[in-house]
Structure 1
Amino acid sequence: MSADAPKVDGVVAAVRADLLRRSELGIAKYGVTLDRTDLNLRDWLQHAYEETLDQANYLKRAIIELDQKNV
């Protein structure tokens, strides 16, 4: 690879695509963007907290599945 060739991180590109897709889905579903001003900081933190709880559940479910396969 030449020093002048642009470096592209495939993982970052995939995350960017996921973010854009997620944004488009949210706008279509809720009709608003994250630029909305009807939520205060606590509301945003509550949403993030609830998403984090969901993530913990998904992770635990996957761990249980892996553990059951390795018994």
Structure 2
Amino acid sequence: MKEDKIVEDLKREFDIRSCIGRTKYKTTLQDNNKDDFLQHLKEELMDAALYIQKLQSNEKL
């Protein structure tokens, strides 16, 4: 069966992101507990809301 380029590209991105995270934070996802995950998720969703707001405000200009 032929390789799925989309899946392989995403796997590479995950590997790169993992390396960056381990270097930056000196930890892995395995070391996080439920509260850590919930806090990180909340912060990521807040960032996403900011990105949406920025794009929407650009459309109004």
Normalising by the smaller structure, the TM-score range is 0.7 to 0.9
Name the residue aligned to 1:19. 14
Residue identity over aligned pairs, in percent, reads 33
Higher relative contact order (CA 8 A, sep 6+): 2
Q: How many residues align?
A: 61
Aligned-partner Cα distance in 2 for 1:25–1:53: 21
Name the residue aligned to 2:37. 44
Q: Larger Rg: 1 or 2?
A: 1
Moved over 6 A (4+): none
Structure 1: runs of 5 or more not aligned:
1-5
TM-score relative to the length of structure 1: 0.67
Higher helix share: 2
Structure 2: runs of 5 or more not aligned:
none
Q: How big is each residue's C-alpha offset from its partner over 1:5-59, in whole Å with a ceiling of 9 and x where there is no partner?
A: x2322222221111111100011111111111xx431231121111111012113
TM-score relative to the length of structure 2: 0.75
